Chain A
Amino acid sequence: MAKSNSWRQFKAILRKDLVMELRTKEMITSMGLYALLTMVVYQIALAEAGDSFDVRLVMPGLIWVAFIFMSMLGLNRSFVHEKDQGCIDALLLSPVDRPVIFFAKFAGNLLFLMVVELLSLPVFSFLFLQGREGFGNPVWLVGVVLLGASIGISGVGTLLATMTVNTKGKDVMLAVLFVPIMYPLLRAAVGATFAAVIGGPGTVQAFWLYMAWVAGFDVIMVAIAYALYEFVIGV
C-alpha cells in the first residue's frame, strides 16, 4: 500500500508540473528561445571562420554549451513554482517520502530538457550543417548522448536547484555550483557527440567509451544527489 501510494504521489507531482507547463509554457519557451539566441551568437562566433571550416568539429561543444545553460533556466523555473507561494511547505506537510519529490522533479526536468534538446538539434543542423557532410555515424547515437547526459544534468541539477532557489541571486548561484560539478559529464558528452558526428574508423568504439563515462557519472552523481536530497529539502 505504501508503495503504490508513493507511485501515486510521484505521478501526481509529475502530472501537476506537466499541466502547469502546458498551460504557461514558461520553461519550454524560455529554454527554446535561449537555444535560438545562442545559435545567433554562434553564427557571429563562426562568421569569420569561412566556408571551408568544418562546423562539425566544434558542433558538439557548441550544442552542449547551449544545452547546459539552457537546462539551468528550466531547473530554476521548476523550483521557483514550488517556492513562490510556499507550496513546497504544503508538499512537505503531506505524507510523502522525500525521495518521491526528488524523482518526480528529476523526471519532469529530464522530460522538459529532452523535449527542448530534441527540438533545437534539428534547428541547429538546419542552420549550420546544410550542404555539408552529414553525420558520420547513425543519428540515433546522438540521441543516446542526449539522454545519457540529460539524466546527469537533471538529476544533479534537481538537487542543486532545490538549494539555490533559497539563495540570494538564485540564477547566478546555480551556474556557479552547476558548471564545475558538470565538468566531467560535459567533457564526456562532447566527446561522445563528436565521435557520433564525425564518424570514421574507431569512432563507434570511442563513442561507447565516452558513454561509459557518461553512465558512470550519472550513476555515481545521481545516487549522491538522491542521498543528499532529503537533507537539503528538509531545512
Chain B
Amino acid sequence: MEETPRNDLAVQVRGLTRAFGVRKALNDVSFELPTGAFLSIFGPNGAGKTTLVKVLTTLLNPSKGSASVLGCDVVSEAVELRHRIGLISHNPLLYPDLTAEENLLFFAEMYGLDDPKTRVRELLGDVELDHRRLDVVSTFSRGMLQRLSIARALLHKPDVLFLDEPYSGLDPHAVDILDGLIAQIRGDHTFVMISHDLDKGLELCSHALILANGKVVLFENRDDIDVEQFRKTYRATVGTGVA
C-alpha cells in the first residue's frame, strides 16, 4: 500500500477486501496485470467477479486494501481513471429511445470530447452502423446493440477495457463480429473480462484468474496453464458449491 503504483502495470490489486458486516464479497485479493494483457476472470455466481470489476471501474470503493488501474488509485484518482477505462457489458448500457448517434453523442459530451461529431461518425463507421445512425436503438438487433455498445465504450479512447460477460446472449454471427472487433483493438488495449465460458475465456486471455468466495483460487499466465488441470480446478470451485 505504501509503494507507489507502478505505471507499467495495467492493474495492481493488493489485499483488496470488500465487505459489508461479516459478508465478504472480496477477501484479500491480490494480483498484478501488465499493460497490454488480457485477463479472463472465472468463477461461480456470487464469487465476487462483478464486485471486483466494479471496484476496478471506480463504481465501488474497497473496504480494505487498495487497487489501482494504470497507476491511478481507484478511490483518490477515480475521476482521472474514468477517462481511461471503458466497459462493455452484456447489458448494452444504451438508451433505447435515443438514436445510435444521439446515444454516442450523449456519452461523448459526458466525457468532454473535443470534437464529438467527428469522433462519433468515425466510430459508427468502425462498427458498421453508419447506415443506422438515425434509427432509434430499441429497433436494433442484439448484435447491433453490442456493436454500438462497443463504440460507446471506445468513444474516449480508453486504455483498459472491462468486459462483463460480453458474449452472453449473442447469436453466433454477433459472436463473430465481437471476436473481430476485439481482435482489431487487441493490440493497443488491456482487457479484463468476466467470463462464464471457459473455452472462450481461455482462447482470448493472456492471464487467467479464478475467484471463489471472494478469494483468488488461481492466478496464472496463460502459457503456464495446463488446460486439463485448469478445467479441474474450475470445476472444483463451481461444482462443490463453494459459492
List the interface of chain A (C-beta within 8 A of B).
5, 8-9, 11-13, 15-16, 19-20, 23-24, 81, 84-87, 89-97, 234-235
Contacts and interface: CB of A to CB of B under 8 A. Distances in A.
Interface in B35-73: 57-60
Nearest to A96: B110
Nearest to B112: A5
A57 B60 CA distance: 52
B169 interface: no
A5 B114 CA distance: 11
Nearest to B81: A95
B94 A85 contact: yes
Contacts of B95: 16, 20, 81, 85, 87
23 contacts: A8-B112, A9-B112, A12-B106, A13-B110, A19-B98, A19-B102, A23-B98, A81-B95, A84-B96, A85-B91, A85-B93, A87-B94, A89-B89, A90-B93, A92-B59, A93-B59, A93-B82, A93-B85, A93-B86, A93-B87, A94-B110, A95-B111, A96-B110
Contacts of B18: none
A126 to B, nearest CB: 33
Nearest to A24: B97
Contact of A95 (B82, B97, B106, B152): B82
Contacts of A81: 95, 97
B91 A94 contact: no
B15 interface: no
A97 B95 CA distance: 20
Nearest to B89: A86
Interface string B85-123: 111010111111110001000110111100000000000
Contacts of A90: 87, 93-94, 107, 152
Given A9-B110, A23-B136, A89 B87 contact: yes
Interface string B145-189: 000000010000000000000000000000000000000000000
Interface of B: 57-60, 79-80, 82-83, 85-87, 89, 91-98, 102, 106-107, 109-112, 136, 152
A202 to B, nearest CB: 50
Contacts of A91: 110
Nearest to B109: A12
Contacts of B110: 9, 12-13, 91, 94-96
A8 B109 contact: yes
Given A9-B109, A12-B109, A94-B110, A89 B93 contact: yes
A16 B93 CA distance: 14
Nearest to A9: B110
Nearest to A26: B97
B106 A86 contact: no
Given A9-B109, A13-B110, A97-B79, 17 more contacts: A5-B112, A12-B109, A19-B102, A20-B98, A81-B97, A85-B96, A89-B59, A90-B152, A91-B110, A93-B57, A93-B59, A94-B107, A95-B82, A95-B110, A95-B111, A96-B110, A234-B59
A81 B102 CA distance: 15
Contact of A94 (B80, B82, B89, B96): B82
B97 A23 contact: yes
B110 to A, nearest CB: 4
B91 A86 contact: yes
A97 B79 CA distance: 8
Contacts of A23: 97-98, 136
B113 to A, nearest CB: 10
A96 B106 CA distance: 12
Contacts of B106: 12-13, 15-16
Contact of A16 (B58, B79, B98): B98
A4 to B, nearest CB: 9
A66 B57 CA distance: 43
A105 to B, nearest CB: 14
A95 B91 contact: no
B80 to A, nearest CB: 8
Nearest to B90: A86
Nearest to A82: B95
